[in-house]
């Protein structure tokens, strides 16, 4: 049963933000979506935003031109259709939620993620989405470290590389894409190295984040654990807000 938490109980009308960071295949997306539904929050997939900017760069033939990408990102209108579950990403009004999941986009997304101008625009956009929606579970690599360091509750999800590879292989198989285990492990190791070594917005455990190893857990068990921590933190914040009321 969904639990609705009133943002009016959070101090100074700030958006109520829960962050989930972690490497590819750690189970973030499925868990973030379920957790958001359970709490009655919106779910923001920030990886989809970096993917959408990359898709646009592929279509324009500018993936190897960081300056062109930096100018182009200012012209892009990135939005979400929140009526869909999970929300669909819109690139200049076009629904690209399927198009951003191709192996080519996955392989090239580092070009957006490494681009400082792109990061600045997307971070700003993510903060505006949080303001607008008021209650958000947001997932990515830098959500707890850079974008929402004051989030009410921060999580870092991780899992064994073998299990992460199996999860990604199964996800892709459902879409008819077959990848060998050796290739997937290699791809994940490459993405981990790229994501962790990024100078700005690199994958790291945020200060105060709760680390959850999902290797041996089902998505349902992870959601239950996260929901328990989130409910505690939200209740604490609500109590603190009540305590300062005149
Ligand atoms: O989460 P997902 O795997 O879809 O993200 C695709 C890529 O986008 C990541 O490998 C990472 O390089 C980048 N990314 C990022 N910062 C975020 C979310 C994703 O750099 N907040």
Domain that holds residue 183: 16-41+138-222
Gap from CA of 5 to ligand 1 centroid (Å): 28
Q: What is the mean predicted confidence (pLDDT) over 185-205?
A: 95
Residue 1 lies in a domain: no
23 Cβ closer than 6 Å to some ligand 1 atom? no
55 Cβ closer than 6 Å to some ligand 1 atom? no
For residues 130 and 49, state if they share a domain.
Answer: yes
For residues 56 and 73, state if they share a domain.
Answer: yes
Q: Check residue 9 and give its pLDDT.
A: 41
**Quick one: pLDDT band at residue 54, thresholds 50, 70, 90?**
very high
Residue 237 lies in a domain: no
Q: Check: CB of residue 105 under 8 Å from CB of residue 58.
A: yes
Q: What is the mean predicted confidence (pLDDT) over 61-71?
A: 98
For residues 33 and 81, state if they share a domain.
Answer: no
For residues 49 and 117, state if they share a domain.
Answer: yes
CATH code of the domain containing 159: 3.40.50.300
Question: In terms of pTM, does the model score above 0.75?
Answer: yes
157 Cβ closer than 6 Å to some ligand 1 atom? no
Residue 241 lies in a domain: no
110 Cβ closer than 6 Å to some ligand 1 atom? yes
Q: Check: CB of residue 158 under 8 Å from CB of residue 23.
A: yes
**Strand 153-158 with 78-81, pairing:** unpaired
Gap from CA of 113 to ligand 1 centroid (Å): 7
DSSP H helical ranges for the chain: 28-39, 46-60, 66-73, 103-108, 110-113, 116-133, 161-174, 181-197, 219-243
Chain centroid to CA 64: 25
Residue nearest to atom 20 of ligand 1 (CA): 113
Residue 3 lies in a domain: no
Residue 232 lies in a domain: no
**Quick one: pLDDT band at residue 241, thresholds 50, 70, 90?**
confident
Residue 171 lies in a domain: yes
């Amino acid at each position: 049963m969904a639990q609705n938490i009133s943002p009016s109980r959070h101090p100074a009308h700030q958006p109520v933000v829960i962050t989930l960071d972690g490497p590819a295949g750690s189970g973030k997306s499925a868990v973030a979506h379920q957790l958001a539904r359970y709490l009655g929050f919106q779910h923001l997939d920030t990886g989809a935003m970096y993917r959408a900017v990359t898709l646009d760069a592929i279509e324009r033939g500018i993936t190897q031109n960081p300056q062109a990408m930096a100018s182009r990102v200012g012209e892009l209108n990135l939005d979400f259709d929140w009526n869909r579950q999970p929300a669909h990403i819109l690139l200049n009004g076009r629904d690209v939620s399927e198009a951003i999941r191709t192996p080519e986009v996955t392989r090239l997304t580092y070009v957006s993620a490494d681009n400082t101008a792109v990061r600045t625009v997307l971070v700003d956009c993510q903060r505006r989405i949080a303001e607008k929606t008021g209650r958000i579970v947001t997932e990515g690599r830098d959500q707890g470290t850079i974008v929402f360091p004051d989030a009410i509750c921060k999580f870092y999800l991780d899992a064994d590389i073998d299990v992460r590879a199996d999860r990604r292989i199964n996800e892709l198989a459902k879409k008819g894409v077959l990848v060998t285990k050796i290739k997937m492990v290699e791809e994940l190791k490459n993405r981990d190295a790229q994501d962790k070594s990024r100078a700005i917005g690199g994958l790291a455990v945020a200060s105060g984040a709760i680390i959850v190893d999902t290797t041996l857990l089902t998505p349902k068990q992870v959601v239950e654990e996260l929901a328990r921590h989130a409910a505690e933190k939200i209740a604490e914040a609500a109590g603190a807000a009540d305590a300062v009321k005149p």
